[in-house]
Every structure is written in structure tokens, then in C-alpha cells.
Structure 1
Amino acid sequence: MRNKFLLLVLAISLFTSCVEKDTGKVLYLGHTLPQAHPVHKGVLEFKKALESKSNGTLKVKIFPDAQLGSEREVLELLQIGSVAATKVSAATLSNFVPEYHIFGIPYLFRDQAHKFEVLEGEIGKEILEKGSKFWLRGLCYYDAGSRSFYTSKKAIRTPEDLKGLKIRVMNNQMAINMVNSMGGSATPLAYGELYTAIQQGVVDGAENNPPSFVSSNHYEISKYYTLDEHSSIPDVLLIGTKYWEGLSEEEKVWVQEAADESAQAQKVFWNESVEASMKTAIDWGVEVIIPEKSLFSEKSKSVLEEFIKEYPEMAPIVNQIKNQ
């Protein structure tokens, strides 16, 4: 499998060099999401805007559906310059750029308006820049909504209802700490195994945003969806610094402007997807619960405390976000 992956990298590199001679610069962009996903639609807007601004001298070739590998693998391709750009979750990116861990803090943002005020303001831009020293320059954030709990047999209305429940989480320490702090039993598990795990009772539930809840068909085997919205981890559109440094100043302006425009369009696609996903779940018979979020927020305060102990240098950034 690894040899096949390396051969693919070599083929892309050789093809890129040939194409650049004939038709200008080509920006190869790989990501793991399906083509119907609202984030992919945002990437298409980036392609459209960049090719228009450059009059076709900068072209974008998109590889969706994990054609170039997992999020981590594509990030490594950016670092060595074999691929120009990608879209990844800030959770995955935090393994490369520590500042992105901040976005996993439960209830970091007061609401949607506060989230975008932070992401699109100076704090968000500073964090995007932090990746440059790791050869991963952030261009903009894409909305990935908020993650909430869903369960198969027992409704979660307060944190006490999580007691005794095995909840699937990403293999991420902050996500594990969050569920455990609320009284549940965090169970890291591969996403591809989750449908069967819920169906067979290996886990009692999981947590994710509405479009993922529906696109994964987890609504078919989950009776309850509790919109506690405990975390809002954005996606990030990135460009490898090796590709970025090969652009002229004018081309860099085009790339950044195209990214910013695509981020605004992607918000609309995301909201449309959330609305459609919630309708699908409700029509299927899923009970949607709107809990008192402050109860969950209070229980999860220890996660922030542990994070600051581990990363004391990030306390000023967290305080800036909280006070903004």
C-alpha cells in the first residue's frame, strides 16, 4: 500500500512538471470528503475564483474522496511539495501545528457570530500563519458546524444521562477528556467502523455535526440527537509553503482572495446542508433534543484547565478568544 502511495506521488510530480510547461501553474488539491459535501463545494468555488482571477494562468486540479490518501498523508505531501493544497480538520492539523488544538476546547465560542468573529479576525489569521514554519500555510477556515451527541437507546438531556454510556470519539485526547469529564465513557474508534459498532451495541452513541450524522447513515440506528453543540472545530484550507514560495506576489494575492471568497460561499453551502440533514433525520423519526448547554459547559471546564497546564503558552490566545 505504501509503495502504491509513493508511486502515485511520483506520478503526480512528473505530471505536474509537464503540465506547468504547457499550460501554466497547476495547483493540485487533495482532500478526503465526497463530492456532495458542502466543503467540497467550497473547494470548487476556490477553483472557480482562482482560475478567473488569474485568467487561467493558475489552474486547480481537485482530488476528492481521499484519492491521494488520508488527511495526514496529504499534509505530508504538502510538506514535501508533491501536492500544493488540501482541506483538513483543525483536529488533524493540530498534530502538526499545536495552536490548532485550541479549537477543540469545549464551548470555546459563545455562538456562531463569535466563532466567525474569531476565525476571520486577527486571532484566526495569526493561527493560520503559525503553520508556515511547518510548511503548511493556512489560507482560510471552512465551517464544519458543531459536534453534538447522538445515541441509540437512551436520550441525553443532561450530562448525568451520559453516565454509563460508551461514546465514540476521535482518537484525540481533548475529545476523550471532554466525554469523560461529562460522565460518559469515551471510546476511540475508527469512523468507518462506527455504524456497525452502534448497531451491535459496541458503543452506545457518538458525536458529530448534522451533515456527518446523516451522510454516514447513523440516523438510521440512532433514536436521539442532542444538540448540545459542545465543540466547533473548523476545517482549514491550506497551501504548502513550497508551492506558495514559487508564486509571484500578484499570484499570492489571487490565491488568498480566492480562498477568502470560497470561505464565504462555503458558509452558505454548510447551512443548506445542515437544514437538509436535520429534515432527513426528523423525517426518519429521530428525536431532536435541545438541552440546557450551560450544564454541559460547566461539566467540561476541567478540559480547558488540563489544556492550559499542558500548553501554558497558549493561555493568552484562549483568553483573547474568550474575551473577544
Structure 2
Amino acid sequence: MRNTTFLRAGAVAAVASLALVACGSGDDDAAGGGGESKTLKLALNQTEQHPSFIALENFGKRLKESTGGRLSIQVYPNETLGAQQETLQLVSDGTVDLAIVSGTQLENLNKDFSVFNMPLAFTSVEGQMKVVNDPKTVGDLYSSLESSNKITVVGAFTQGTRNVYSKKGPVNTPADLKGQKIRVQESDLHTSMISAMGASATPMAFGEVYTALQAGVLDGAENNEVSYVTQKHFEVAKYYSRTNHLVGLDYLVVNSDLVKGFSAEDKAAFDKEWAAAWAEHTDLWGKETDKAVAAAEAAGAKFNDVDAAAFEAALEPLKAKFLTSDVQKKLYETAQAAG
């Protein structure tokens, strides 16, 4: 059972502790290329077994080596520093240096991010990664929050294909979701997405989902196979239906003042090691997805395919509702063309 009250209290204590450490460390010169070292604090809402944690841990090790110890990364998993909405604000404030946040969090700050959160925008992880880590395509988008929020988007990890899972039974068509309370990320787009798929959308922080499923507050949720297993949601919602409605995204965000203070040498090392991190993560994702499905099936979870055409038809109207500017339409066309 997930103790979310404990997590919130822990987040407050952890952030307070980090602030004290920052005040006493005297290591800020390292970010500008000085001789001292700086450990960057990175917030993550996943477990230590998740591909994101593994790739980020390795990112930090390589960065430390590449900069001769001037920069390193400590990853705080399991929402230790708070839920994503909280850690995004902490990065903006400069209390936390880096965080992994879902696309829906950035969509709430700039609607142009909603393009890559659109259902059916991407049809493959490979096409997705080609677009979202291409500076020529996303450069303006990723710098759009710097002046208003002091947040720079570094790049993105895939969340893989997201699907629906339920306590009540297999889902084959949108009609099977009628009346079911399905957890959704905190976003107007994703609330509309789940509603279009036939369910009652229930926005909720990620760390609260297990308990809500267990208590009957939720009937199901939508997520990828890896998170379904690492968060043990298969224990309380054993029917996993491959709606393939979305190839999700997580973004790495950094405090803009911090990254602008990097020396040219350290910035080059940071960018190089980040490119290696998302490539490693993508490779891990495929392998861990296969393992997750096998583990869930062994524990009694049931996987099924759905009427894909029925879900595509239900989701089609969202394009007209949410793609309203020329910038958004162009980004969407780029995503579609990537396959």
C-alpha cells in the first residue's frame, strides 16, 4: 500500500535538507567551470528498477567522468522530492536542479507542448525519439519557458505506448469503459482523451494510483507496461488492454540560470552525456517492456488487443479541439511524418 501522506512529509523534509546543504556547500563555482565540484539534484517519480532511474544514474556517472568531477548527479527516485507538479516548481525556484516530468506538466505552462501529448501523434518510439531530441525541430519549444519560469527543457525520454488497464475486465471498445473511473494525468487534453474513450476521467498524482485502485476510488488507469509492473498496479487491476492510444513522453528539465552558468566545456559534456542517456533509455525501454509483460502475465495479469479502429474514431475529434495554431499544426505534422 502506498503511503502518500508519508511521501509528502518526506518531500518537505528532503527539500529543506537540500536547501541547507546548498547553503553550506560552497560549490557553485563548479557550474561555471571552476575547480570545485557540484552535485546536481535530480527528482524522479519512478523506482530504482525503472529504465529512467538506470539511465539517469549512468548519465550522472559519465558526466562526472567527462567533467573531471566538476559536475555529477544524484537521482532522488520514488517521488522523494515530491510529485511532478511540485518538483517542476522546485526546479523553477532553483531548489532542485533537474527533474523528469511528464509532457502534461509542461503542457500546463505552454499549450504548444500538448502537440506531442496528442493521442496517436506518434506511432512508434523510434519516430518519437527522432523528433523530440532534434534541436532543429524543438529548439524554440524547449526554450519557451526560460523567461517566464526559469525552466529549460533538455530533451525527452519515451514513456512507451500507453494503454488502459482495469479491475473490471478486458476492454475491447470504448463502450466497455462507460462508467469506469480511469486515472489520468493532470491535463485538459488527457482528461478529454479519456472521456472520448468512454470513461470517467479522474485526474490524480502518479504516486496515489495504487492506493486508489486498491480502495475502489479508481476502476483503472492508463499507462505503459513498465510502469504497470514497477508500480505493481497489476496486483489491483489485472486486465491490461492494448488501446495504443498514446506514445507518452517524459522531459528532462533544468533550472535555466544553472545551465546558463555552465562553462562551454561543461555544457558540451552535459549535452553529449544526455544524448547517450536518452539513447540508453530507449534501448532499455524495449527490453524492459518485454520483461514487464512476462512478469505481469506470470502474476496473473491478462493482456488483450482491442478494436483499434473504434478507439481511433473516438479520438479523432481531439485534433480539431486542441491543435489550434499554425505552430501546433506544424509540430503535429512533423510528429506524424516521423512514423
Alpha-carbon spacing, 1:49–1:291, altered in 2? closer, same or farther (3 Å): same
The separation in 1 between residues aligned to 2:207 and 2:58, in whole angstroms, is: 28
The residue number in structure 1 matching 2:129 is 116
Residue by residue over 1:183-237, the C-alpha shift from the partner in whole angstroms, topping out at 9 and shown as x without a partner, is 2222223444433443454432211111111122221232321111211221112
Q: Partners in 1 of 2:236 and 2:97 — Cα distance? A: 39
Kindly indicate whether the alpha-carbon contact (under 8 Å) linking 1:49 and 1:261 is maintained by their aligned counterparts in 2: no
Instruction: Name the SS of the counterpart of 2:95 in structure 1.
Output: coil
- Contact conserved, 1:12 with 1:82, CA < 8 A, in 2? no
**Does the residue aligned with 1:183 lie in a helix, a strand or coil?**
coil
Q: Does residue 295 of the first structure (1) align with residue 317 of the second (2)? A: no
TM-score (norm 2): 0.85
Q: Quick check: 1:10 aligned with 2:19?
A: yes
Match of 1:212 in 2: 227
Q: Given the alignment, which residue of 228, 240, 256 partners 1:241?
A: 256
Residue ranges of structure 1 left out of the alignment (5+ in a row): none
Which letter does structure 1 place at the counterpart of 2:334?
A: Q
Question: 1:144 matched to which residue of 2?
Answer: 159
RMSD in angstroms over aligned alpha carbons?
A: 2.5
**In structure 2, what is the Cα distance between the partners aligned to 1:178 and 1:30?**
27
Alpha-carbon contact 1:80-1:242 (below 8 Å) kept: no
4+ runs of 1 displaced by more than 4 Å? Answer: 1-6, 18-22
1:186 match: 201
- How many equivalent pairs are there? 323
Structure 1 80/283 Cα, relative in aligned 2: closer, same or farther at 3 Å? same
1:43-82 equivalent positions in 2, closer than 5 A: 43-82=56-95
Equivalent in 42, 49, 72 of residue 29 of structure 1: 42
Could you say what secondary structure the match of 1:36 adopts?
Answer: coil
Cα pair distance change 1:78/1:202, threshold 3 Å: closer
Are residues 211 and 99 of structure 1, via their aligned partners in 2, closer, same or farther at CA, if it must alter by over 3 Å?
Answer: same
Q: 1:78 to 1:12 in 2, by over 3 A?
A: farther
Q: Which structure 2 segments of 5+ residues have no match?
A: 1-8
Indicate conservation of the 8 Å contact 2:171/2:177, yes or no.
yes
Q: Secondary structure at the match of 1:65?
A: coil
- Closer, same or farther in 2 for the Cα pair 1:3/1:70, shift >3 Å? closer
Amino acid at match of 1:89: S
- Identity of counterpart residues, as a percentage? 25
2:317 partner SS = helix
Cα distance change of structure 1 residues 80 and 264 upon mapping to structure 2, 3 Å threshold: same
